[in-house]
Amino acid sequence: MAKDVKMVARQVLEALGGKENIYRMSHCATRLRVELHNDQKLDPEAFDTIPGVSGYFHQSGQHQVILGTGFVNKVYAELSNQGIAETQEDREDEKRETNRTKAQQLTKTFADIFIPVIPVLIATGLLMGLRGLLINGFGMELSNTILVLSQVLTDTAFTFIPVLVTWSAMKKFGGSPVIGIALGLMLVAPQLPDKWAVSFGEAEPLLLPFFGFDIPITGMQSSILPAVFMGWLAARIEKSARKYIPEVLDLILTPFVTLLFSLVLGLVMVGPLILGIENLITSGIMYFFELPFGLGGFIYGGAIQFLAITGMHHTIVPITVKMVAETGYDLINPIGTAAIAGQAGAAIAVILKVKNRIKRSNMFGSVIPAFLGITEPVMFAINLPKVKPFFFGCLGGAVGGGLASILGIAAAGTGSTMLPGLLLYIGDGFFQYILVILVSLATSFTVTFLAYKEKSTAQQPDLNYQVNHG
């Protein structure tokens, strides 16, 4: 039966304390994110009785109502039609930003930079999978022209990833995005020696004399952290330039000053240092996942959802993007999939024990996004509030993650997990990937079904209260 968008929007608005109580509203793939003027007017228990609402939780100052993929867009649009503003003044945003810890601020910064880029990377990964399906699945032989065109589709985004990152970073830090695009293009300019050609001894870096030292300069193809730094640096330089350059000359001089100093400081001086740090981090991550007996995968598969609770899982995105850009494979993808499958298996076991039909139906709506690679609804709406199922889900993720490491499977792309991620494994690790999902699901489902007992509402621990007020 179709959900009544207007009715759900009206009841959600009432539970939030009315239109006048909403300070700011936005949404992600599955959740309505709301900040309130007065949290005391909120009625969190009302969300349990609204058909179509899969759950509610409070995190980082936001009240998040889980509505599910697609449906959240309709409810958001209905609320927006009532004149509820999406954004407020920058001063208020800055004030709320200072209330976050340094780790939360860093995580939010990475999330704001990479979330706009991720859809392109997902599309590129699926295109890689589609090509693998045609060649390895159906045995097709592609002509040289078609093969080259497919490589344009699959390789361009990762080769020129600094362009996407500097654009997004400039936008995040308050600079002009078009300057970020130009700066990113300069980082991968064909006039510079290709970073990979220099690494393999096929080309020599440019040498810039500086106080008796020769500074090697190369392009920054596939680099992530230097591009983030360049976007931040350029935004700072642009803002400072606008303070001192007369308005009549602003159109000409501000972009000139911004690009000149950003490129010199970033590409020649600070950029190589950050690139070295990035390479050390990536090498350490690669070593961790290559630990014997699948130990790295076991630890990551069991622990990643703890990072997801705080949103810090977004800090993994730059690593996976760089990994695919440099090697063509993502070792983390199957392990992250195992973690999602673990939470899904635990939630299914919980649902089977719920006797209330309406509540069971709402809870089931939170499980479906997990099979599409979105874990937050099932985790926040079902497993985390009940505590034990969350840990049982982490156990399933750990077992599946360890198995993925032992099997040595990796995705030929990044971004897509669970069922959409199947395309990334066609021709190499397809059945092993399915095995990892099934093992994670079965482990968490079995343990949860045997060890978890559904309690009455009065006995349920109010985890949101404990987290935010304890």
Q: Which two tokens stand for residue 140?
A: 């097709």
Hey, is 6 helix, strand or coil?
helix
State the Cα–Cα distance between residues 384 and 380, nearest whole angstrom. Answer: 5
State the Cα–Cα distance between residues 425 and 129, nearest whole angstrom. Answer: 7
Q: Which two tokens stand for residue 405?
A: 């490491």
Interacting residues of 280 by C-beta distance below 8 A, sequence separation 6+: none
The backbone region for 139, taken as left when phi is positive above 0, alpha when psi lies in -120 to 50, beta otherwise, is: left
Of the chain, the end-to-end C-alpha distance in Å amounts to 40
Indicate which residue of 4, 18, 28, 45 is catalytic.
Answer: 28
DSSP classification of residue 201: T
Hey, is 245 helix, strand or coil?
coil
Q: Which two tokens stand for residue 337?
A: 């999939």
Q: Nearest 5°: CA angle at 319, between 313 and 324?
A: 125
State the Cα–Cα distance between residues 27 and 374, nearest whole angstrom. Answer: 14
The whole-angstrom distance between residue 4's C-alpha and the CA centroid of its chain comes to 30
Work out whether strand 55-59 and strand 62-66 pair parallel, antiparallel, or are unpaired: antiparallel
Cα atoms in the Cβ-side hemisphere of radius 13 Å centred on 50: 27
Q: Is 394 a catalytic residue?
A: no
Closest CA to 70 of 55, 58, 52: 52
Q: Strand 62-66: give its sheet, edge to edge.
A: 22-27, 31-36, 62-66, 55-59
Closest CA to 181 of 157, 162, 194: 162
Burial annotation 4-31 (CB, 10 A radius, 16+ → b, else e): ebeebbbbbbebbbeeebbebbebeebb
Q: Tokens 């997004």, residue?
A: 168
Q: Which two tokens stand for residue 230?
A: 């360049």
Cα→Cα distances 30→4, 304, 437, Å:
17, 20, 22
**What radius of gyration do the chain's Cα atoms show?**
24
Active site residues: 28
